[in-house]
């Protein structure tokens, strides 16, 4: 029986780290694609040479074209440029719209049955681009954001309370940006509500740190952005699909009325399994959380409208 196949487009830090996590977990054979000659091939060979040390046996290949990606089960799109100093948001959106459109077309041409996981920013808008260009059903196109944002939130809570991260159940919803909504009312530590364990002020600080989580890392690194946790989040999504795990996780999904929202990609809890997004779950929010979610949705809708698609 042949192994599943994951294509990762973009062999920069996030893409290469996706390949690393996926290979180490023996999820699938991996194709790393990038326009830079030699880079995906070099990183793929380096990963192949790690196989005897960690004892994984999947194939990892690098390529500059899409032939090697044929019949992939999953395509993770990390390609796109990061916002540079002096660059307007419009410039970023238009440049990445072109890149993601082209990549999606090439992926679909070779792998018409694939699931697409978008990591490129602005995340929710780039999911919309991939959805429109691919023509795929919405359950097969999704964005990696909520898992990462939730992981940051859970990490900060675990660090504050000095407890194991596995004990923390939490959910971060909304657009992937400063308007994201960590749902405090649904956050607990092995069933104990977070509000019983920390003061309102402490919780507000953790929520704010979560919202600025990406920026905190950018400020520390000075010349780049996060990649270990974003890549781990994308690979968790791929694993849930490949292994039909039915994970309940927040992802950027296409909404058609859920949460009162329409025709946009937005971070919501879903059941992720072999059919992709098998179900979108709704969550009872407090009035203040509801208001924050509306604010986040308005920001995401503005960016979607700028795409003019």
**Separation of first and last alpha carbons in the chain:** 41
Beta bridge partners of 236: none
Known catalytic residue at 20: no
Query: Two tokens at 278?
Result: 């098998």
With CA atoms as reference, report the closest residue to 48 among 27, 23, 73, 25.
Answer: 23
User: Going by DSSP bridges, is the β-strand pair 29-33/60-63 parallel, antiparallel, or unpaired?
Assistant: parallel
3-state secondary structure labels for all residues of the chain: CCCCEEEEECCCHHHHHHHHHHHHCCCCEEEEECCCCCHHHHHHHHHHHHHHHHCCCCCEEEECCCHHHCCCCEEEECCCCCCCCCCCHHHHHHHHHHHHHHHHHHHHHHCCCCEEEECCCCHHHHHHHHHHHHCCCHHHEEECCHHHHHHHHHHHHHHHHCCCHHHEECCEEECCCCCCEECHHHCEECCEEHHHHCCHHHHHHHHHHHHCHHHHHHHHHCCCCCCHHHHHHHHHHHHHHHCCCCEEEEEEEEEECHHHCEEEEEEEEEEEECCEEEEECCCCCCHHHHHHHHHHHHHHHHHHHHHCC
Q: How do strand 192-193 and strand 188-189 relate by DSSP bridges?
A: antiparallel
Catalytic annotation, pick one of 140, 176, 211, 304: 176
Instruction: Enumerate the active-site residues.
Output: 176
């Amino acid at each position: 029986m042949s192994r599943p196949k994951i294509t990762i487009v973009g062999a920069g830090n996030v893409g290469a780290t996706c390949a690393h996590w996926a290979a180490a977990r023996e999820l699938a054979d991996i194709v790393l694609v990038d326009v830079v000659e030699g880079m995906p091939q070099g990183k793929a060979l380096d990963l192949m040479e790690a196989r005897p040390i960690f004892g994984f046996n999947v194939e990892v290949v690098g390529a500059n074209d899409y032939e090697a990606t044929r019949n992939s089960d999953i395509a993770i799109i990390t390609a796109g440029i990061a916002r540079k100093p002096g660059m307007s948001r419009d410039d970023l959106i238009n440049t990445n719209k072109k890149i993601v459109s082209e990549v999606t077309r090439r992926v679909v041409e070779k792998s018409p049955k694939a699931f697409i996981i978008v990591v490129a920013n602005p995340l929710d808008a780039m999911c919309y681009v991939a959805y429109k260009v691919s023509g795929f059903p919405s359950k097969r196109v999704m964005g990696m954001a909520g898992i990462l944002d939730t992981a940051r939130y859970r990490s900060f809570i675990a660090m504050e309370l000095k407890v194991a991260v596995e004990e923390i159940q939490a959910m971060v919803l909304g657009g992937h940006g400063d308007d994201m909504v960590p749902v405090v009312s649904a956050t607990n530590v092995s069933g104990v509500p977070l509000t019983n364990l920390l003061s309102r002020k402490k919780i507000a600080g953790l929520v704010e740190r979560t919202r600025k989580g990406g920026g905190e890392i950018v400020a520390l690194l000075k010349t780049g952005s996060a990649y270990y946790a974003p890549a781990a989040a994308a690979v968790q999504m791929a694993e849930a699909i490949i292994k039909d795990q039915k994970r309940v996780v927040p992802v950027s999904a296409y909404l058609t009325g859920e949460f009162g929202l329409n025709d946009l990609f937005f971070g919501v809890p879903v059941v992720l399994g072999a059919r992709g997004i098998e179900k979108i779950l709704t969550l009872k929010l407090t009035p203040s959380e509801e208001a924050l979610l509306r604010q986040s949705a308005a920001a995401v809708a503005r960016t979607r409208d700028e795409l003019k698609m």
